[in-house]
Structure 1
Amino acid sequence: MAGVSGCIKYSMFIFNFLFWLCGILILAIAIWVRVSKDGQEILSPGDSATNPYISVNILIAVGSIIMILGFLGCCGAVKESRCMLLLFFIGLFLILLLQVAAGILGATFKSESERMLNETLYENVKLLTGADNDAKAFQKALAEFQEEFKCCGLVNGAADWGNNFQQNSKSCECQSSTDPSCVSYESKYVYKQPCISFIKELVAKHILIVIGIAFGLAVIEILGLVFSMVLYCQIGNK
């Protein structure tokens, strides 16, 4: 232990343990989203050739890599292994570079992402008037969304439902006919606001959560880089 600071060593262990926990959290959230149906049915386009899970699969991979790096950092600190610490440093530095690149790309293509979301939502309006299994699954998901967020239709209001309105009107109906946020449609009082704005708000909130998580991870990663290199040098000077 001569020449190796106990404070640095155990600080390195604690930070890597937190890093490992972050990896578990990312992996758990990504797997939950991967197996959840409602969100994918609302946001995925009708074209089956498009994989709506690409981003989630990337998060699963990132969470797994972070868990492995956290394990390397913890073991490298406790066992004072320069090899493990060096592998940890290189892997962590590469992840930090990827996060910075992803942030730059995300900011650059923000307007493009918004355009793609709009196109997807407008394209999915067709599913509300369909009768196949995919359309029925989407209609069920949107009906639950309407009931929760007090909206009706996807883009143009109740008219989006077409001939399927009567059988799905219950989730659109207002509690009071005097409510100013309601309108009369086919002898029923329904919510005037379409769900597109609520979906966009929901997506925006999730993006803010992702940004917050990424920023928190970046702070932990920088601290991990500093502690690992300091400990690596101290072990070499023993």
Structure 2
Amino acid sequence: MAGVSGCLKYSMFIFNFLFWLCGTLILGIAIWIRVSKDGNEILSSGNSDANPFLAANILIAVGAIIMVLGFLGCCGAVKESRCMLLLFFIGLLLILLLQVAAGVLGATSKSETKRILNETLYENVKLLKQTGGNGQEFRDAMVGFQKQFKCCGLVDGAADWGTNFQSISESCACEPPSNDCVTYDRKPVFKENAVECSLELSGSFQPLKPPHGQIRVLGTWFGVFYGPVLPDREQMNL
């Protein structure tokens, strides 16, 4: 029985150590996006009533909680501390209850989430159509995103750029013949928009070359968190 007890102890230690590493990774990436210049520009680009930093703040809190629970689990398993293990299991129970509550709230407020997302995307599309210095960093970030991921526009394709299309058309350029190409203003461009591309990227974690790594992470999290409530293009009314 001593051998079985030792096996369980170290198995629990390894599991919680990996748990702690995941929490550290989530916390680090969330803080990086929260304080980085590109992350702030994209997160705060809309004029929605919703807090633009809400997702990053939630991830910071989640990462910190996972780190604490992982620490309690590791130390409790190695030292065989009943107090630490009790706190660890109470923490897991609270997380389970919060997940159930979040699921219920998410199901009941889905229409409100769609409305907020519509407003945010609409404001971002207006930034793409503007000229001058207002929103320039966001437009530059979108150009970099389009070049790297072979897409065009945010919601409605190349039309999202309005009169700015001619100046950024190279980032949307697609080589025909290809099923990925459509014609806009007599130029072949990618038919997939940035929102659709982000949803596809949510299942991929391939590393990127700088300087657009922040955009890749934001695109991934956008797909993960907003994919289930993303409205159809016809519902955007842009």
Which of 190, 199, 206 aligns to 1:201? It is: 199
The Cα of 1:121 is off from its aligned counterpart by 1.4
Larger RCO: 1 or 2 (CA < 8 Å, sep 6+)? 1
Residue matched to 1:101: 101
Would you tell me which structure has more helix in proportion to its own residues? 1
Contact 2:152 2:194 in 1 (8 A): no
Q: Any unmatched runs of 5+ in structure 1?
A: 211-238
The Cα of 1:67 is off from its aligned counterpart by 1.2
Structure 1 stretch displaced more, 65-74 or 157-166: 157-166
Residue matched to 1:10: 10
CA distance in 2, matches of 1:153, 1:77: 51
List structure 1 runs of 4+ shifted beyond 6 angstroms.
none
Residue matched to 1:234: none
Whether 2:147 is the aligned partner of 1:147: answer yes
CA distance in 2, matches of 1:76, 1:204: 35
Q: Within 5 Å, give how 1:66-81 maps onto structure 2.
A: 66-81=66-81
The Cα of 1:127 is off from its aligned counterpart by 0.9
CA distance in 2, matches of 1:19, 1:46: 34
Whether 2:189 is the aligned partner of 1:191: answer yes
**1:128-168 deviations in Å (ceiling 9; x for gaps):** 22234342112112222222343333344433323322222
Query: Judging changes above 3 Å, is the alpha-carbon distance between structure 1 residues 9 and 122 closer, same or farther for their aligned structure 2 residues?
Result: same
Query: Judging changes above 3 Å, is the alpha-carbon distance between structure 1 residues 125 and 86 closer, same or farther for their aligned structure 2 residues?
Result: same
CA distance in 2, matches of 1:107, 1:49: 20
Q: Please state whether the residue corresponding to 1:5 is helix, strand or coil.
A: helix
Contact 2:72 2:85 in 1 (8 A): yes
Match for 2:131: what amino acid? A
Query: Judging changes above 3 Å, is the alpha-carbon distance between structure 1 residues 66 and 43 closer, same or farther for their aligned structure 2 residues?
Result: closer
Contact 1:13 1:73 in 2 (8 A): yes
Q: Within 5 Å, give how 1:21-100 maps onto structure 2.
A: 21-35=21-35, 41=41, 44-47=44-47, 50-100=50-100
Contact 2:48 2:119 in 1 (8 A): no
Q: Please state whether the residue corresponding to 2:135 is helix, strand or coil.
A: helix
CA distance in 2, matches of 1:62, 1:43: 19
The Cα of 1:189 is off from its aligned counterpart by 0.7
Q: Please state whether the residue corresponding to 1:191 is helix, strand or coil.
A: strand
Structure 1 stretch displaced more, 192-201 or 79-88: 192-201
The Cα of 1:209 is off from its aligned counterpart by 5.7
Whether 2:160 is the aligned partner of 1:160: answer yes
CA distance in 1, matches of 2:195, 2:57: 27
Number of residue-to-residue matches in the alignment: 206
Larger radius of gyration: 1
Query: Judging changes above 3 Å, is the alpha-carbon distance between structure 1 residues 204 and 25 closer, same or farther for their aligned structure 2 residues?
Result: closer
Q: Any unmatched runs of 5+ in structure 2?
A: 204-219, 226-238
CA distance in 2, matches of 1:199, 1:138: 17
Query: Judging changes above 3 Å, is the alpha-carbon distance between structure 1 residues 100 and 189 closer, same or farther for their aligned structure 2 residues?
Result: same
CA distance in 2, matches of 1:184, 1:7: 64
Match for 1:84: what amino acid? M
**1:22-50 deviations in Å (ceiling 9; x for gaps):** 22232233234435565665565432875
The Cα of 1:199 is off from its aligned counterpart by 4.8
Query: Judging changes above 3 Å, is the alpha-carbon distance between structure 1 residues 172 and 18 closer, same or farther for their aligned structure 2 residues?
Result: closer
Contact 2:150 2:190 in 1 (8 A): no
Match for 1:193: what amino acid? K
CA distance in 2, matches of 1:192, 1:70: 45
Contact 1:158 1:190 in 2 (8 A): no
